[in-house]
Amino acid sequence: MAMLIKEDIIKQAADIGVRFVRLQFTDIFGVMKNVSIPVGQLEKALDGELMFDGSSIDGFARIEESDMYLRPDYRTWSVMPHNPQTARFICDVYNADNTPFPGDPRHVLRLALAEAARLGYSMNVGPEMEFFLFRVDDEGKPTLKTQDSASYFDLAPVDLGEAARREMVLDLESMDFEVEASHHESAPGQHEIDFKYADALPAADNVQTFKFVVRQVAQQHGLHATFMPKPIYGIAGSGMHVNQSLFRDGQNIFYDGHGERGLSQEAYYYLGGLLHHAPALTAILNPTVNSYKRLVSGYEAPVYVAWAEKNRSPLVRIPSKRGKSTRMELRSPDPSCNPYLAFAVMLMAGLDGIKNKISPPAPVECNIFRLNDAERRDMSLPLLPGTLKEALEAMRNSQLVMNTLGEHISRLFYDAKLLEWEEYSADISQWEIDRYLSKF
């Protein structure tokens, strides 16, 4: 979308008949929040004068620091599908003293992008979003019953989610998404919609908008859309593979027609940084207890820190296209992550690889999932953290990740997620009841 000015937006709102405007922002855990205002307050909002109580948002501010302002990003102005009386902005969060709020995930990504710009780079990101569609019960609550038994690329009538998925695509396109493909995924009830890459900040905004639209459309079809990483035992979970590349002066700096595999030295160093810091990134890329139910062998999710080209079993894959399409696909993230924080830590890890010339190990061209334990040991393949607790410890021990997040977010994120792990560990699961209640 072309950059609009204040007067353009006010005129558009009047011409379309907008009556309400949603001012959207994201908390540190990746949950989109919303303040809705009548259109009469639009000019005040556009001037960044709309105040809200930050102490009411988990992980934002203490009650004595609660006055905050939402500053709309004019580029995110959009009318909501099926409801032309409602429009939205995605906003940056500011303190009362006119400084960026350090707990705003969008601000964290902006700082990482500023560091990349200082080195002459911009970052392009193309996320691949997977999700499940489940039936709801008579009270409208989600169940674990899928509405189909389809698999990869199946069509209706086997893929009964096709109608909802088609409407999702149309709604996303009405909000200026360039959707490249949509299809049924491997598990029953699982779907994927891919949209074109973008600069990192708009790409993170797109992830949040995508989740919002998918949930809305699913609800209209009597379904529940979830981005929970692993809702059903025994089948594949949902990932958010992240394709990423660096550009300088309009040129993809990962590409070198004379380099080994068509990759530049900077590309190899960026890859080295990603792999070197991968364990420390995991708490951000896979931020829930449930995330680690997906990161297990046998269900297409990466477990070992390795890379390859055509092989999809390692952590990082280099797709075959070259030129401007040269990119790295990091396959561990899942859609429960906060995209602003996720893209920020990925970028800083890759930049650290470039700055410190971290070379990656040799590629692993065999299917890691089919190797036995002895073969994997012989190859000295490092493992990603196996639990949220392990990931949090790796994060806390990483100066790069903690500095990227900043003191505010790193402290609150760590404390909240450690509490989540402790509550999970103390809970008595149905599995334990079924296994032990009668046995002992």
Q: Which residues are catalytic?
A: 53, 128, 130, 185, 192, 241, 312, 329, 331
Give the dihedral of Cα atoms 311, 336, 339, 91; nearest 10 deg. Answer: 160
Question: Contact, 54 vs 65, CB < 8 A?
Answer: yes
User: Which secondary structure element, helix H or strand E, spans residue 206, and what is its range?
Assistant: helix 200-220
CB neighbourhood size of 309 (10 A): 14
Distance CA 418, CA 424 (A): 10
User: Which secondary structure element, helix H or strand E, spans residue 116, and what is its range?
Assistant: helix 105-118
DSSP labels, 404-440:
HHHHHHHHHHHHHHHHHHHHHHHS--HHHHHHHTTT-
Query: Which sign does the torsion angle of CA 77, 36, 64, 26 carry?
Result: negative
Whose CA is closest to 328, among 207, 197, 152? 197
Distance CA 58, CA 412 (A): 9
Q: Is 434 exposed, middle or buried (0-12, 13-18, 19+ CB in 10 A)?
A: exposed
Question: Contact, 301 vs 237, CB < 8 A?
Answer: yes
Which two three-digit tokens encode residue 110?
């902006």
Q: Is 217 helix (H, G, I), strand (E, B) or coil?
A: helix
For 153-256, list the strands marked E by DSSP. Answer: 179-184, 190-195, 198-199, 223-226, 240-248, 251-252
Q: Residue 383's Cα: distance from chain center in Å?
A: 22
Question: Contact, 290 vs 230, CB < 8 A?
Answer: yes
Q: Is 2 helix (H, G, I), strand (E, B) or coil?
A: coil
Which two three-digit tokens encode residue 333?
């993230």
